[in-house]
Structure 1
Amino acid sequence: MSEADRPHATSEADRPRGAQEPRLRTRDRGRPRARLPIRVKVALPLALAGLIALLVTGNALRPFDRITTIEARMASKSDYFKDPEVQRLLLKHGLRVDIHRLGSRGIATQSLNGMDVVFPSGQPAAKLILNRQDRSVRSVRPFVTPLVLGTFRAYAETLQKAGVATPQPTTDGGRTLYYDLDMREFMGLLDGRTGKNDQDEVGDQDGDDVAERADTWNGIGFDEAGGRSNSGRVLVRTSSVCESNSAGTYLSILAFVANNDSTPGAGEADEAKAMQEAADVSRKIKPLIDLQGMWADEQADSYLSDLGESIAPISLIYEHQYLAHQIEYERKYGKQDTDRVLLYPTPYALTEPQLISLSDKGDRLVRVIEEDPALRQRAIELGFRVRFSGEDGTSDQLNDYLGEHGIQVPTPNRDETKVYEPDLDVLQEIINSVGSCPPPVRDIP
């Protein structure tokens, strides 16, 4: 038998395999079920609550919405649009504001190319901007705020002893936050002369050049109490009159008082006579500004800083900046900041910031500011006196809010004399003369 015909043993690997029945594996009921990690259990309720909140507020699809960026040039009232809550409310409308900071007069005189809105802090700059437009513009004046002088209690009490400032009454008999300031008497401290014995605008008739102590803080009694001393002059730290609305408005107050409580150039049909009156007033008030120097930064930031008192005893600010500080201070510490106080000038001046649209995107922002009640309420919470239905100014809502938060409500002075800015040409003549302002940068095509 050949080897090929000889039978071989069949190995296990060579044997054909039959199809096996599929096995259905079931979980052993005795085996414990796998549990979610603790961190997942903790996160699930939070995620669910966040989803519900997004659905309720209508923000579930917000990441997919198109956000329109508004290019804006603003002065001091940019504080409003920098507020996180205002930014959140604007995002609900699909708007984000990109702020380019500049003084009001700088906004009014420089190129506005690429801007969607501008927000000068007062009417003189707003008029200059509106006069430059060749399209029908949409604008809104959402709130007003008085011009004030921020100081510290020891200095306010010194002015009170000098007969220049009068404390406003409080309802609880505590220390007041507010004083009324007689500008005519106060200007007598700023002019570098005693005031009582002067015979003319420059000095005594006999021409004696006498060093005056009455115009220093120690000269009016600052060093008589508390063991403190300040031999520096009584001055007001302002922004540059060449750049800012607040300094220009302060200049209008000084000019009004120096012109015998009359707006320079008002009612004068002869333009040459109006400009001459402006020049005369400028000579009178220029020393009041020159002595203090002119600063270009934001005064409220310095005044409200920890080093505010060492920087300047008196700073020119807006009321809303001080009230916003008090609201935030009360929220943090549960009490008022009684070290910082306000001086309300008499006569007084209100500033009316105006949001002016320069494009279709700007129109959207103006419309939202006009119509959204939440944005108006937030303005009140930031210390503004919000305008309603075309009224000049509404203080009731602000006063109620301050009272609810334990902050003293300022009371109107019985002397209601209000300063109105001179006509644009007259005001610019005063500003240029007092500030020795350089020609404005005009890069308008």
Structure 2
Amino acid sequence: MAAMPLALAGLLALLVSGNTLRPFERVTTIDGKMASKSDYFKDPEVQRLLLKHGIRVDIHRLGSRGIATQSLRGMDVVFPSGQPAARLIMRQQQRSVRTARPFVTPLVLGTFRDYAKTLVAAGVARPQRAPGGGETLYYDLDMKNFLKLIEDQKTWNGIDFDEHTDRSNAGRVLVRTSSVCESNSAGTYLSILAFVKNGNQAPGTERGRHRRAGVGGPAADPVLDVAEQVKPLINLQGMASDEQADSYFSDEGESIAPVSLIYEHQFLKHQVDHQKKRGKQDSRRVLLYPSPHALTEPELISLGERGDRLTDLMESDAALRRRAIELGFRVRFSGEDGTSEQLNAYLREHDVQVPTPNPDQTKVDAPDLNALERIINHVGSCPPAGRDDGE
């Protein structure tokens, strides 16, 4: 009999915490191929909130473009990290699909303070003002001038890194990226490079200025012309996986790569966690916001009735949206609360500096889907799509 009160107490605790379901309620397992934003569904609090609705998500991790080009057989949902892969997937569906775009996050470059200061001294970066005049966490990066450093094969010591620190780095100024054949982040970064190299317009949108291959020769292909220009900029240092943030935030992150391609939400969550654990911001790691900038829009795409349940819930559940803010995302709201305001309020509550918009609000116009695919395939020498689902 003594065990009965203990069992009852345990059940009450589960009920209060929300970690149990109503009697006889079934748990539906939803299988999904997901890219880097799978970190949202891996979050224990998100898993708890979904379980309250009788949903468990089984994640099959893959890069965004890999999701779009491989078989989706047996999947209930897919969650590519950006619109190019999402459009590829929806174009292949034989039915109208339900989707949800619950949040957005800018593409950014994660670096370390000494390297950011070096870029400021080189005239390619500008620090954002920090409250109280302290050390800032954020810098705005002029991509046109930054790419010139890469094209000119400048080294970090060549732009006086060793003058700003007691260390030395004779390595090339480069950005560590994931594979353009697999990931949304690398594909989006490729779009930035192509936009900048094409005079701040998307390749394939030129009119009346196609160059000639020779006198009387056929017109050059403007898309492949830009692809050829950006190929060396992104192929110099790339990864086969999409796990840039793990390397950047590791203890050896600076020795792995001075500059890494990541998403803003990953950095903001890291800073909030660092503040909670240590009572201060991680002032060693800082962000470079590219100008022009690119905003990534992950899209949850349902492939069937079970997937519909999840997309509907992501659109309607306030607790899931709130958790997305806590994970550093800019959540879509209608009415008075804009995409960034609630995130900014959350950062202030946790004593983390709020990033400020760059006065230069030039946004990258991505190439159309066909042009982007051609650029990616040219730059990455990507293998042919491996679909086996009869589509």
TM-score normalised by the chain length of structure 1: 0.82
Q: Does residue 298 of structure 1 match 2:258?
A: no
**Who is 2:112 aligned against?**
152
Q: Does residue 123 of structure 1 match 2:74?
A: no
Distance 1:367 1:65 in 2: 19
Q: Which runs of 5+ in 2 are unaligned?
A: 212-217
Distance 1:380 1:178 in 2: 19
Q: Does the 8 Å contact 1:123/1:353 carry over to 2?
A: yes
Q: Does the 8 Å contact 2:68/2:88 carry over to 1?
A: yes
- Cα distance, 1:64–1:219 mapped onto 2, change above 3 Å: same
- Cα distance, 1:274–1:438 mapped onto 2, change above 3 Å: farther
Q: Spell out the pairing of 1:181-200 with structure 2 (5 A cutoff).
A: 181-191=141-151, 193=152
Which string of whole-angstrom CA distances, capped at 9 and with x for unpartnered residues, describes residues 161-200 of structure 1? 1011100001121110000000000000111x2xxxxxxx
Q: Which amino acid counterpart does residue 370 of structure 1 have in structure 2?
A: E
Q: Which amino acid counterpart does residue 173 of structure 1 have in structure 2?
A: G
Q: Which amino acid counterpart does residue 353 of structure 2 have in structure 1?
A: Q
**Who is 1:324 aligned against?**
269
Q: Spell out the pairing of 1:47-196 with structure 2 (5 A cutoff).
A: 49-55=9-15, 62=22, 64-191=24-151, 193=152
- Cα distance, 1:182–1:59 mapped onto 2, change above 3 Å: closer
Q: Which amino acid counterpart does residue 287 of structure 1 have in structure 2?
A: P
Which string of whole-angstrom CA distances, capped at 9 and with x for unpartnered residues, describes residues 39-86 of structure 1? x69x95x76654444455676654642100000000000000000000
Q: Does residue 279 of structure 1 match 2:224?
A: yes
Distance 1:392 1:418 in 2: 22
- Cα distance, 1:440–1:268 mapped onto 2, change above 3 Å: farther
**Who is 1:405 aligned against?**
350
Q: Does residue 234 of structure 1 match 2:181?
A: no
Q: Which amino acid counterpart does residue 247 of structure 1 have in structure 2?
A: A
Distance 2:337 2:291 in 1: 19
Q: Does the 8 Å contact 2:36/2:242 carry over to 1?
A: no
Q: Does the 8 Å contact 2:116/2:286 carry over to 1?
A: yes
Q: Which runs of 5+ in 1 are unaligned?
A: 1-35, 194-211
**Who is 1:4 aligned against?**
none
The alpha-carbon deviation at position 346 of structure 1 amounts to 0.2
Distance 1:339 1:292 in 2: 23
Distance 1:179 1:274 in 2: 41
Distance 1:61 1:125 in 2: 35
**Who is 2:322 aligned against?**
377
Q: Which amino acid counterpart does residue 328 of structure 1 have in structure 2?
A: D
**Who is 2:163 aligned against?**
224
- Cα distance, 1:58–1:444 mapped onto 2, change above 3 Å: closer
Distance 2:20 2:184 in 1: 42
Q: Which amino acid counterpart does residue 135 of structure 1 have in structure 2?
A: R
Secondary structure at the counterpart of residue 30 of structure 2: strand
Task: Single out whichever of 282-291 and 141-150 deviates more from structure 2.
Answer: 282-291
**Who is 2:215 aligned against?**
none
Q: Which amino acid counterpart does residue 186 of structure 1 have in structure 2?
A: F
Q: Does the 8 Å contact 2:18/2:48 carry over to 1?
A: no
- Cα distance, 1:283–1:391 mapped onto 2, change above 3 Å: farther
Which string of whole-angstrom CA distances, capped at 9 and with x for unpartnered residues, describes residues 202-260 of structure 1? xxxxxxxxxx6xx0000001111322000000000000011110000000000000001
The alpha-carbon deviation at position 112 of structure 1 amounts to 0.6
Match for 2:333 among 385, 388, 402?
Answer: 388
Q: Does the 8 Å contact 2:21/2:52 carry over to 1?
A: no
Q: Which amino acid counterpart does residue 164 of structure 1 have in structure 2?
A: V
Identical aligned residues as a percent = 70
Q: Which amino acid counterpart does residue 245 of structure 1 have in structure 2?
A: N
**Who is 1:20 aligned against?**
none
Q: Does residue 442 of structure 1 match 2:381?
A: no
Number of residues paired by the alignment? Answer: 384
Q: Does the 8 Å contact 1:275/1:426 carry over to 2?
A: no
Distance 1:185 1:92 in 2: 51
Q: CA RMSD for the aligned pairs?
A: 2.5
Q: Does the 8 Å contact 1:147/1:319 carry over to 2?
A: yes
Q: Does the 8 Å contact 1:264/1:274 carry over to 2?
A: no
- Cα distance, 1:393–1:287 mapped onto 2, change above 3 Å: farther
Q: Which amino acid counterpart does residue 137 of structure 1 have in structure 2?
A: V
Distance 1:412 1:386 in 2: 17
Task: Single out whichever of 280-289 and 294-303 deviates more from structure 2.
Answer: 294-303
Distance 2:368 2:93 in 1: 19
